[in-house]
Structure 1
Amino acid sequence: MDLTKLTLIETIKGLKERQFSEVELNRAYRERMKKLNPSLNVYLWAKENGTEGIPAAIKDIIVTKDISTTAGSKILEGFVPPYNATAVDRLLEKNISVIGKTNCDEFAMGSSGENSAYGPTKNPWDLTKVPGGSSSGSAVAVASDMCVFALGTDTGGSIRQPSSLCGVVGLKPSYGRVSRYGAIAMASSLDQIGPLTKTVADARLVLEWISGKDGYDSNCQNSEFKVQSSELKKDLKGVRVGVPREYFGKGLDEGVEKVVREAIKKLEKLGAEVVEVILPHTEYGIAVYYIVMSSEVSSNLAKFTGIRFGKTRDKFGSEAKRRIMLGTFALSTGYYDDYFAKAAKVRTLIKQDFAKAFQKCDVIVGPVSPTTAWNLGGLQILGKYMDEETILDVAESYEQATSWRKVKPKL
């Protein structure tokens, strides 16, 4: 039995039934890491010993006690945090061990995995293509079976996009579902920690473990996610699936559209009702995101002065510098109202668009990215605020009705 191929659910079952030991499990993953990491550049820190717990990978922007955390930047090279992120502590309580810290775009700024100060992570399906970002290492670690599951962070697609390009399950939870305490902030009003897993059932379980109220994060909701049932519904009867016309416009790769359209047909065959929804302010989404995100980046990274936190600011990479400058400009006197304030208003309009759309449907589906890094397109399922249960139900029904989860890169 190749223990590295097992899902989280299967791993827990195997340990409980004593089919193998934690020692054997950890040894199997360490051997695979030693074999594959040199070519994929997934781990910036890896556990060389250790025989206990279920091995999980943690994105290197999430702090881990007594373990190096760099956020993919030379600014924090050599930084060893004195505490764990809340999400990490909650995993440790469930007998999860940190097997490694995964590479990422510097301070989570990037969508390709190329902007790390420690070199790019490679896509396991094709080493010449990008894995997506910024949670590049976490996605590749799961796709290449170098961990049982991983944690990443998502601000504007940083879990979902690399999950799509690497062929794994990625979930950005509702804002406030999971504590952000211990995640080095990029854009505080958008950042969220979430799981990257081999199956939807695994994502469901990890979300249950890491969700819930935390006194260290004032935005964290007093609402734990609970796995409702181990029995999966056989169909999606009664579920309304919204398809926005704006998500299938100019610039969408033909191959991606074909895969997503086929997925929508599959959902319909499973009993879902497909309805068209309108998101009229979609065209402004990227502009709004870049102004809001860059403005918050400028504020959050101001603390890395080389005095209290980090080393000299000269060590910021080019993408980090670009976003700091853009955000500083948007917040500057004379331009605040023209840029940041206006973007905040349009952000509210976009949120209202989704609220209206969800009056007609339970989930919204569309492509994760308009392009693909390899020959499979990614399906994104969006749900109402704090309704991850419906998202996961639809995703798992689709997963079980198709063979995508069985496709693995040849390494």
Structure 2
Amino acid sequence: MNYLNKDLNSLHQMLVNKEISAVDLVKGTLSNIKDTDQEIDAFNNLNDRAVEDAKAVDARGIDANNILDGIPLALKDNIVTKELPTTASSNMLKNFTSIYDATVAKKLSDLGSINVGKTNMDEFAMGSSTENSAFKTTHNPWDYSKVPGGSSGGSAAAVASGEVPVALGSDTGGSIRQPASFTGIVGMKPTYGRVSRWGLIAMASSFDQIGPLTKNVFDNALVLNAISGHDDHDSTSSEKEVPDFTEHIQDGVKGMKIGIPKEYVNKLAPDVSEAIQNAAETFKKLGAQVDWVSMPNSKYGVTAYNALQTAEASSNLERFDGIRYGYRASDAKTLDELYIKSRSEGFGDEVKRRIMLGTLSLSYDNVDKYYKQAAKIRTLIINDFKKVFADHDLILSPTSRVTAFTIGVEDQDPIEMYMNDILTIPANMAGVPAMSQIAGFSNSLPIGMQLMGKPFDESTIYKAGYAFEQNTDFHKQTPKMGGK
């Protein structure tokens, strides 16, 4: 079962009409993953219980009113589950299995969706290429020599290659949208608080958000419907009512005002610049007003984000001490030695780098110089968004300045790697929703377009994204697996 040319509605109708059973669907999915993933390396673990879960769905019958019933999907390996190990692609958690399911995992399971596996990622979500995994490097389905982006690269590659129709990722500074851009699919980072973070292994708690990766905009809206909502377990989750994100998705963009920040179109690859210009023209033809806006403080986003994010990461990863759970060094003779050896051996280089940077940022001598200054910049960026949204409905930009880069090229240059998120970080700093979808190609590699909206207005993003998708055919293209 390959999902390159199937959407959730067609799969649902096949299940309702009994053209295929949930067991057939899951078995076909697992078979395709085992064949395809030899080249892609998207999965860390497959679910041995998936077929049994599918049998239970078939036994009670498919719910005709529940489009996700019996649908196979994948979860990023930092979303905890009871039935599968959750490793965060780190040796620190190589053999860790949770005693509870994350809220998003439980919501999808309650709807009858079947988790077929956990996807590879940059260790503890720290990276932009999925090269920082302790276990493997995931490959871009469009060209196996290219990265799929990160940190949700495994989830993005699994959807882009047709291994699964839906996957969940997490986005701290672009980790859903950038891999969606590099692999030519749709990735949504919801408003901060829209989706519960209960059961997401925290990297930077004030930035992290779980969101869906799908082949098209409508499917993405369906999945966000399923995972959104308040959760008593998560004090940062919003109590705002969750609308049906598909209800007005076909209303079009006539009368919308869309702004393009002039600061977001500097130093773009020529094909990326052309794709965004063409996207703006498409929106104009569909009746939207598109004009230039200014967001002057976005240029400080990467610097401020790294001061804040590393500080939060160093604090969150403090719990991995070799005592309570996770990797524990076997030859330590003292408590201090146990801490040092367990963390030195369990964490990879990028994680150690960010822990050290975060510790520096929070140190007594530097907290005013770095952390507090970065927090002030965050407020300036939030104010930039408020000014634009005072008279605009959406912000349009590239998702990334470039298309997918070659594996190994940027892995040894942390600064260059961090700069890959320069266009996605501001949305996380402000907590606003943002979505990436395909807007063109450059040398047979996808180009991503980013739409950012007002807080809790994912519906308008989906409306514009759907209109663009219906008037272009980029999303209909499929990878010739590795460029062959």
TM-score (norm 1): 0.97
Are the aligned partners of 1:4 and 1:29 in contact in 2 as well (CA < 8 Å)? no
Matched, 1:324 2:355: yes
What letter matches 1:37 in structure 2? D
Are the aligned partners of 1:211 and 1:224 in contact in 2 as well (CA < 8 Å)? no
- How far did 1:225 drift? 2.7
Indicate the larger mover: 10-19 or 264-273: 10-19
Question: Which of 232, 238, 251 is 2:255 aligned to?
Answer: 238
Equivalence for 1:44: 44
> What is the correspondence of 1:361-400 to structure 2 with a 5 Å cutoff?
361-373=392-404, 375-400=445-470
In 2, Cα distance between equivalents of 1:131 and 1:283 = 25
In 1, Cα distance between equivalents of 2:48 and 2:94 = 20
Are the aligned partners of 2:121 and 2:154 in contact in 1 as well (CA < 8 Å)? yes
Residues 301-334 of structure 1: per-residue CA shift (max 9 Å, x gap): 0110111132111221110011000000010011
Are the aligned partners of 1:56 and 1:149 in contact in 2 as well (CA < 8 Å)? yes
- How far did 1:4 drift? 6.1
Q: What percentage of aligned pairs have identical amino acids?
A: 46
Are the aligned partners of 1:275 and 1:361 in contact in 2 as well (CA < 8 Å)? no
- How far did 1:406 drift? 0.7
In 2, Cα distance between equivalents of 1:36 and 1:132 = 19
Are the aligned partners of 1:236 and 1:397 in contact in 2 as well (CA < 8 Å)? yes
SS in 2 for 1:5: coil
Residues 359-411 of structure 1: per-residue CA shift (max 9 Å, x gap): 12100010101111163311000000000000000001101111011111123
- How far did 1:342 drift? 0.5
In 1, Cα distance between equivalents of 2:162 and 2:445 = 20
Residues 138-191 of structure 1: per-residue CA shift (max 9 Å, x gap): 000000111120000000000000000001100000000000000000000000
Matched, 1:116 2:133: yes
TM-score (norm 2): 0.83
Matched, 1:402 2:433: no
In 1, Cα distance between equivalents of 2:157 and 2:100 = 26
Are the aligned partners of 1:112 and 1:133 in contact in 2 as well (CA < 8 Å)? yes
CA 1:371–1:228 in 2, change beyond 3 Å: closer, same or farther? closer
What letter matches 1:378 in structure 2? G
Residues 225-262 of structure 1: per-residue CA shift (max 9 Å, x gap): 3325556436311111111100011x211111111111
Indicate the larger mover: 6-15 or 271-280: 6-15
- How far did 1:215 drift? 0.5
What letter matches 2:29 in structure 1? Y
Are the aligned partners of 1:3 and 1:28 in contact in 2 as well (CA < 8 Å)? no
Matched, 1:106 2:137: no
Matched, 1:83 2:100: yes
> What is the correspondence of 1:101-250 to structure 2 with a 5 Å cutoff?
101-227=118-244, 229=246, 232-233=249-250, 235-249=252-266
Are the aligned partners of 1:246 and 1:279 in contact in 2 as well (CA < 8 Å)? yes
- How far did 1:5 drift? 3.4
SS in 1 for 2:189: coil
CA 1:156–1:282 in 2, change beyond 3 Å: closer, same or farther? same
Equivalence for 1:8: 8
CA 1:229–1:128 in 2, change beyond 3 Å: closer, same or farther? closer
Equivalence for 2:286: 270
Bigger relative CO (Cα 8 Å, ≥ 6 apart): 2
What letter matches 2:376 in structure 1? K
Are the aligned partners of 1:138 and 1:150 in contact in 2 as well (CA < 8 Å)? yes
Question: Which of 343, 349, 355 is 1:313 aligned to?
Answer: 343
Are the aligned partners of 1:242 and 1:360 in contact in 2 as well (CA < 8 Å)? no
Matched, 1:261 2:277: yes
SS in 2 for 1:281: helix
Are the aligned partners of 2:139 and 2:145 in contact in 1 as well (CA < 8 Å)? yes
- How far did 1:223 drift? 2.4
- How far did 1:3 drift? 5.9
What letter matches 1:23 in structure 2? V
In 1, Cα distance between equivalents of 2:249 and 2:124 = 38
- How far did 1:50 drift? 3.3
SS in 2 for 1:44: strand
SS in 2 for 1:243: strand
Equivalence for 1:303: 319
Equivalence for 2:59: none
In 1, Cα distance between equivalents of 2:3 and 2:260 = 39
- How far did 1:117 drift? 0.2
> What is the correspondence of 1:29-68 to structure 2 with a 5 Å cutoff?
29-48=29-48, 50-51=50-51, 52=54, 53-68=70-85
What letter matches 1:227 in structure 2? D
Matched, 1:95 2:104: no
What letter matches 1:380 in structure 2? Q
What letter matches 1:332 in structure 2? S
- How far did 1:275 drift? 2.0
In 1, Cα distance between equivalents of 2:383 and 2:138 = 37
Runs (5+) with no aligned partner, structure 2: 55-69, 328-341, 405-443
In 1, Cα distance between equivalents of 2:137 and 2:445 = 21
What letter matches 2:472 in structure 1? T
Residues 273-323 of structure 1: per-residue CA shift (max 9 Å, x gap): 102211010110110111000000110001101111321112211100110
- How far did 1:49 drift? 5.6
- How far did 1:40 drift? 1.1
Question: Which of 369, 382, 385 is 1:338 aligned to?
Answer: 369
In 2, Cα distance between equivalents of 1:3 and 1:288 = 40
In 2, Cα distance between equivalents of 1:299 and 1:244 = 34
